[in-house]
Amino acid sequence: MVDENTKRSRRNILKTTGALGVAGLGLSFGTGTGVALETGEASEWTREHANSIALTDETTAPDIDENSDVISDDYWIWDTWPLRHRDGSIAKIDGWQIVFSLTASKDLVPGARHNEATIRYFYSRNGHDWQEGGTAFENPLGHHQWAGSAMYDQSEDQIHHFYTATSPEPEFRQRLALGKGASLRTSPHGVELTGDQEHVIIGEADGDLYQTLEQSREQGIVYAFRDPWYFEHPETGEDFVVFEGNTPTEGDGPDDPQSYNGNVGVMRATNDELTEWELLPPNLEAIEVNQQLERPHYVFNNGKWYLFVLSHEFTFAPGLSGPDALYGFVSDSLYGEYKPLNGSGLVLANPESAPFQGYSWLAMPHGDNVLIESFENFRGLDDTSRGEIGLDEVGHLPSEEQKELFGGTLAPSLKLQLKGTETRVVSELNDGHFLPSGGSNEGANGNNQ
């Protein structure tokens, strides 16, 4: 691990060179640690890889036979992420774990929740019995907020919360944002977020490396510039974010494979406060394969960089098919050659009997394995008042039936074994179970009472 003096030296270098856009020129970038960042061409998830996607026992989640535990009576719950330390370990503060979720009122039908998404937090002693805390922000940016990540800096006693600031439907313009300044007040009875927060935009699509909303309209497919996931570079100690983006292409409508142009974007902080960032080239592209590589995130294991993304059945390019699933790739470095896990990239899919039972899987480090968390999506689509239906037909059902079919809470967590380029499901845990990882027993710098 890089010591604090080295980090400060490295960040001073970043301050003086960030404005020059050195990395954006595809050059080596010295950090003062003896390690240079190479920003070469992005690895490719190819049609050949995707053509080999097949569900196996090792890549299929168990059926959810019973309704999952409801952690909120008032709100739908979907994309969820834990409070983590800089090193990526799940934080446990004075005995409490904290997670953040996208939420919306249960008065809404499930399909309307995206335009009303609000980030709320929940806390637990054991990592699976969650109590509702409240909203994460008082005055966030955007009409509503979509997914991100949260990092607790113990030395500063504050949370850096990365999220997507989104404009109203139907535009859905997406920008990457940071809310910082919140701290934690703990007691034997719970957790409270306190303190004034500053909100800043840290990234916007540039039209060169990352497709803009206006460019996407020419292709007839909604673009992506969202889901910032913070991580500390395991070798240099630099602060990075990966996010979901699209590569500008010459695609001409939804029938043109070139319009399916998902990528994993990269940004690097250029100041200590993490309020200024530079766009770097994407490190993974899925051109002519898939339009959405959602919620990209890393697990570092045995010197390997495991990159995970989510994708939908309907976002695969014409001529390809794949399930709603967690997909993954492995490399030796940030811009190394990424190889698809299990040959195709498929890591974890819903069972064929319930192809939409879960979504938004998040892989978290747990020893030599990873823990997979998700939310319960739609079950029972084979037996509705309109007979067996597809996901795109749910909105035609009566409102109450839509709500009955939607889980809207945390699904059972799964343990996944990593072995080089292969993975397999090994066990099922409690609903919404987040197991703490190493380095997570610190207190909250005296704010407990």
Omega of the bond leading into 188 within 30 degrees of 0 (cis): no
Instruction: Tokens for 162, please give them.
Output: 């990365």
Contact 405, 394 (CB under 8 A): yes
How far are the Cα atoms of 130, 189, 190, 307 from residue 96, in angstroms, in the given order? 10, 10, 8, 28
In the chain, the amino acid numbered 88 is G
Instruction: Tokens for 161, please give them.
Output: 């919360």
Instruction: Tokens for 275, please give them.
Output: 């309020």
21 vs 279: CA distance, rounded Å: 8
Residue 277 dihedral angles phi and psi, to the nearest 5° = -140, 155
Cβ-based burial of 74 (10 A; exposed 0-12, middle 13-18, buried ≥19): exposed
Write out the H or E segment, with its range, that includes residue 50. Answer: helix 47-51
Tell me the sheet residues that pair with 445: none
Q: DSSP string spanning 10-35?
A: HHHHHHHHGGGTTGGGT--EE-SSS-
Judge whether 294 counts as a catalytic residue.
yes
Q: Which residues, 6 or more positions from 448, have their beta carbon under 8 angstroms from its beta carbon?
A: 94, 185, 186, 187
Q: DSSP 3-state assignment of 403?
A: helix
- Comparing CA positions, the residue from 139, 212, 132 lying closest to residue 172 is 212
Q: Cα–Cα–Cα angle for 74, 78, 84, nearest 5°?
A: 110
- Given the residues 285, 294, 373, 431, select the one marked as catalytic: 294
Give the residue numbers marked as catalytic. 79, 294
